[in-house]
Structure 1
Amino acid sequence: MPKQPVAAVILAAGMGTRMKSDLPKVLHEVGGKPLVGHALASVQGLDPQRIAVVVGPETDAVAKAVAPVPTTVQVDRLGTADALKQARDLLVGFDEGTVVVSFGDSPFIRTETVARMVAAREEGAHVVVLGFEPEDPAAYGRLVTDADGGLEAIVEFKDADAATRAIRLCNSGVMAISAAHLFALVDRIGNDNAKGEYYLTDIVAVARGDGLTCRYILAEESELMGINSRTDLAAAEAFWQDRARRAAMDGGATLRDPASTFFSWDTVLGRDVVVEPNVVFGPGVTVEDGVTIKAFSHFEGCILRAGATVGPFARIRPGADIGEGAKIGNFVEVKNAVFAKGAKANHLSYIGDADVGAAANIGAGTITCNYDGYLKHRTKIGEEAFIGSNSSLVAPVSIGDRANVGAGSTITKDVAADALAVARGEQRVLEGVAAKLRARLKAAKAALKKS
């Protein structure tokens, strides 16, 4: 951890025009979390004293997404140095330690990498730049070093001569800057360039002119993957998913087909979990040890307790708590419902806003009618209760322990423990009527063809 105070500024004011989206670029998601959320997480791991996010003038949604982290607006978008200046008021009084500057569209920078930057700054450098050596340097700016390995300059590709372009050490734009010198340096960055913008990369030249020390540290190219287009976003998602799958398997889970298993940023899988193909974990899912998840199932905002079995083709929605050893079968949807130990709903059911007791058995086609058009209501099913197939439980309603609901029933009143409830029309059998009906329909069809 840093020895001195740390502040962080996330630059997230870019328009992201290449995304061709009404959604601000930094709110597009990787692993179910906005890009800017990933960027924040990388610096929050250092427990900074201050954090600020610089947003654009029409991006209130970004401010809402990062709340309660304070934001400031870059009105005119005059470059990265200008964006950093907008954070001045949020850094008032922060005059010692390090200010980390990173970008809201760079989701993969590790906290450990940021910590190495801060450590290099604390060891005497006034400006530390995060560099990398990509397989294809392409049009990245180059880091020019001196004979002692210090950072001499950052040269943009378009301004570089052939010798400079041959340098493989490239600039990520991420920096750690002495808080005591930050704005004294930034305020002297000019805009004498083709775009008339104030580039933070010029801070190295300004600092060197003052005799200050500038350094760089290296990161893996994969950490510095920026997102500027939908294609970049897809590549980032694929990279993130691959990493998440490896982490899950390293942690003791079995993925039958890793490529068709999709995680969210906060998915937790226990040991000896088995995940069959084509399973999607949305945000907020915890899976305890020994759970079996069958193919084509979808999870969001739920917990699966130890030893449970879910799927195939199950949908487990927010608020669901699937108890130890419980079984949720094919084409069953569960929402905001608690299944106690050993409870079962094996086929074709919707269980919403319900409490299902231990070892209760819910038959195929059962639904809890939880919504009256205005309000949601809860259904309670007791321990060892049996709900016959194709039953409708009209909430609010309670089924007692060990009670039995006959198949095809519509239950609107509470059922006591150990009682049998049957609520369906009486069956009538009319001998010979089916034959007469067929004859009549056959004649009608023949008459229709003649006409």
Structure 2
Amino acid sequence: MENRYAVILAAGQGTRMKSKLYKVLHPVCGKPMVQHVVDQVTKLDLNTIVTIVGHGAEKVQSQLGSTCEYALQQEQLGTAHAVMQAAPQLEGKEGTTIVLCGDTPLITSETIEALLNHHAKTNAKATILTAKADDPTGYGRIVRNEDGHVYKIVEHKDANEDELAITEINTGTYCFDNAFLFEALKQVSNDNVQGEYYLPDVIEILKDNGEIISAYQTECFDETLGVNDRVALSRAEKIMKRRINEKHMRNGVSIIDPENTYISVEAQIGRDTVINPGTMIIGRTVIGEDCEIGPNSEIKDCHIGDSTAIRQSVAHDSKIGDNVKIGPFAHIRPESNILDDVKVGNFVEIKKSSMGKGSKASHLSYIGDAEVGADVNLGCGSITVNYDGKNKYLTKIEDGAFIGCNSNLIAPVTVGTGAYVAAGSTITEDVPGEALSIARARQVNKENYSSKLKMNNNS
């Protein structure tokens, strides 16, 4: 198999985005646009991937990491100038180079592979990825000759009446014979109004030299969408969301209202799980089978087992086991580990804590920096007091313990196996296993106090 390379253009600032964030780092379904492109390219058998960076170079490189090599375009002088920056990595090598834009997050590896194969099949020196547009206004038109090869690309403003009627458009993605590409780049001129070096000029140079220019028309126009402003970003988000949701539904996940369900491209969801409206599943979340998530829940970077229900709640960066019931209105904060058969009820917050198998915190509790054993009952209003204003401390509640309502456990403290803490207690010392701990003031009743208070108020 011949050598194959990719150049990804990601140097532009994207002034039309009107944003402090560099254009290619704007997320689509939770992932930066350029990351979508690189992820699709890395699915292919390529020798080298070079990403051209400029504005925000360090942040782009930080995002993409070691998945590709980099070339710096210090001045943005056009797309041909950008590709030329990859010369140290690619010039003089035999093979095929595909050039993609970092702001086309909907492109798929299947389409890229089909373009590469078509390029090889036609023995072309350049192949253009094209698409049929319902409204081709503003796009360059592909004019083919009698052999079906590209005769020329006509920009909208330069097209005559017949050319304006053409609906096949240039998407801005190209395949080139690598050696011919870098030879032609040296001949590109910046003799134009903008004073820039444009990559489509390479097509004209190759054609004028008698080389074959081919075109591969993708069936999906949406894949070619380039994002230049927030309107296009929203459109890409909607298309990607539909694509992701349809994939999960075809794999056996029930999504009750796909238009109001947001799932990241990296999420994994098991069969017969039901996703209710208003749910956001973010990041590398993994959800097992037979779960029910939502409505109106936010799950981020969690690993959730089978047969678990999470309703009207938020869970981030945590592990949640099988047959767990969470919500409504619970908050599972990062680094929590909720084991099987646990119940976390309404207005319960768990932070950096473990909840053992079968334990319950049914309502109005805060469990922070705690190790809760199995079959523990945390009564309404139970609080682990973990912070003294400077440091945080650990609370341990061992298996089978019972914590009465409105109890404060002042960390560091341990409640032993099978121990009871009486309602309303403030626990400052360890409670031995099987003990009953009562830490509250003795009740005192003041006889006739209310009547005396009323008499004094009326006098």
Which residue does 1:387 correspond to in 2?
378
| Residues 433/198 of structure 1: CA separation in 2 closer, same or farther (3 Å cut) | farther
User: Is the 2:277–2:296 Cα contact (8 Å) retained in structure 1?
Assistant: yes
Aligned-partner Cα distance in 2 for 1:438–1:4: 97
Shift of 1:83: 0.6
Partner of 1:373: none
Q: What TM-score results when the alignment is normalised by the length of structure 1?
A: 0.91
User: In 1, distance between residues paired with 2:110 and 2:454?
Assistant: 78
CA distance in 2, matches of 1:101, 1:43: 11
Cα separation, 2, equivalents of 1:210 and 1:257:
55
SS at 1:67's partner residue?
Answer: helix
Distance 1:194 1:126 in 2: 28
Is 1:21 aligned with 2:19?
A: yes
CA distance in 2 between partners of 1:119 and 1:259 (Å): 36
CA shift for structure 1 position 5: 2.1
Pair 1:176 & 2:175 matched: yes
Change (3 A) 1:443 1:316: farther
Deviations 1:194-250 (A, max 9, x none): 222111111111112222221000112111111111111111111111222222211
1:138 aligns with: 137
Aligned to 2:34: 36
What is the identity, as a one-letter code, of the residue corresponding to 2:371? Answer: K
| Corresponding residue of 2:225 | 225
SS at match of 2:327: strand
Quote the residue 1:61 is aligned against: 59
**Separation of aligned partners in 2, 1:9 and 1:257:** 39
Structure 1 stretch displaced more, 16-25 or 150-159: 150-159
Distance in 1 separating the partners of 2:257 and 2:88: 51
Deviation at 1:276, TM superposition (A): 1.7
Structural mapping, 1:374-413, within 5 Å = 379-393=370-384, 394=386, 395-411=393-409, 412=411, 413=413
Task: Look up the match of 2:252.
Answer: 252
Deviates more, 1:68-77 or 1:6-15: 68-77
- After TM superposition, the structure 1 stretch with the greater mean CA deviation from structure 2, 429-438 or 79-88, is 429-438
Inter-partner Cα distance in structure 1 for 2:74 and 2:156: 27
Amino acid corresponding to residue 115 of structure 2 in structure 1: M
What is the alpha-carbon root mean square deviation over aligned residues?
1.9
In structure 2, the partner of 1:5 is 3
Could you report, residue by residue, the CA deviation over 1:119-177 in whole angstroms, capped at 9, with x for unpaired residues? 12222111111011100010111112111001122222223333322222110110111
Q: What's 2:272 paired with?
A: 272
Deviation of residue 390 (structure 1)? Answer: 0.8
In structure 2, the partner of 1:376 is none
1:122 aligned to 2:113?
A: no
Larger mean Cα displacement after TM superposition, 31-40 or 118-127 = 118-127
Contact 1:152–1:205 (Cα < 8 Å) also in 2: no
Asked whether the equivalents of residues 388 and 408 of structure 1 are also in contact (C-alpha less than 8 Å), the reply is yes
Q: SS at 1:143's partner residue?
A: strand
How far did 1:443 drift? 7.0
- Counting matched residue pairs gives 430
Identity %: 30
Equivalent residue letter for 1:106 = T
Tell me by how many angstroms 1:252 deviates: 1.1
Alignment map for 1:61-100 (pairs within 5 Å)? 61-68=59-66, 69-91=68-90, 95-100=93-98
The residue type paired with residue 120 of structure 1 is: H
**Native 8 Å contact 1:131 1:216 kept in 2:** yes
- Whether the 8 Å CA contact 2:99–2:173 is kept in 1: the answer is yes
How far the C-alpha of 1:437 sits from its partner, in A, is 5.6
- Equivalent position to 2:110, from 94, 109, 112: 112
Q: Which residue of 1 aligns with 2:50?
A: 52
The alpha carbon displacement at 1:180 in A equals 2.5
SS at match of 1:170: strand
Q: Which residue of structure 2 aligns with residue 418 of structure 1? A: 418
Q: Counterparts of 1:226 and 1:210 in 2: how far apart (Å)?
A: 30
What residue identity is the alignment partner of 1:193?
Answer: N
Matched, 1:297 2:288: no
Letter in 2 for 1:225: L
Matched, 1:262 2:262: yes
Contact 2:313 2:327 in 1 (8 A): yes
- 2:353 partner SS: strand
Structure 1's 31 and 58: CA in aligned 2 closer, same or farther, altered over 3 A?
closer
Q: Which moved more, 1:97-106 or 1:187-196?
A: 187-196
What TM-score comes out, normalization by structure 2 length?
0.89
For the 8 Å contact 1:121–1:178, the answer to whether it is kept is no
What is residue 432 of structure 2 aligned with on the other side? none
| TM-aligned CA distance change 1:436 to 1:24, over 3 Å | farther
Q: Which residue of 1 aligns with 2:161?
A: 162
**C-alpha distance in 1 between matches for 2:267 and 2:242:** 14
Does the 8 Å CA contact 2:48/2:69 hold for their aligned counterparts?
A: no
- Per-residue deviation, 1:294: 2.8
Aligned in 2, Cα 1:434/1:283: closer, same or farther, shift over 3 Å?
farther
- Aligned position for 1:243: 243
Displacement of 1:342 in angstroms is 0.5
Q: Are the aligned partners of 2:378 and 2:402 in contact in 1 as well (CA < 8 Å)? A: yes
Distance in 1, matches of 2:154 and 2:95, equals 27
Q: How much has 1:53 moved relative to structure 2? A: 1.1
- Choose 151-160 or 140-149, whichever is displaced more: 151-160
**Could you list the per-position Cα deviations for residues 363-406 of structure 1 after superposition, in whole angstroms to 9, with x for gaps in the alignment?**
31221233xxxxxxxx1111111112211123412111111112
**Which residue in the other structure is 1:447 paired with?**
none
Q: Which amino acid aligns with 1:160?
A: A
**2:181 touches 2:202 (CA, 8 Å); kept in 1?**
no
1:137 and 1:170 in contact (8 A); partners too: yes
Q: 1-side partners of 2:394 and 2:165: how far apart?
A: 73
Q: Is the 8 A contact 1:97 1:122 kept in 2?
A: no
CA contact (8 A) 2:353 2:368 kept: no
How has the CA–CA distance of structure 1 residues 80 and 439 changed in structure 2, closer, same or farther, with 3 Å as cutoff? farther
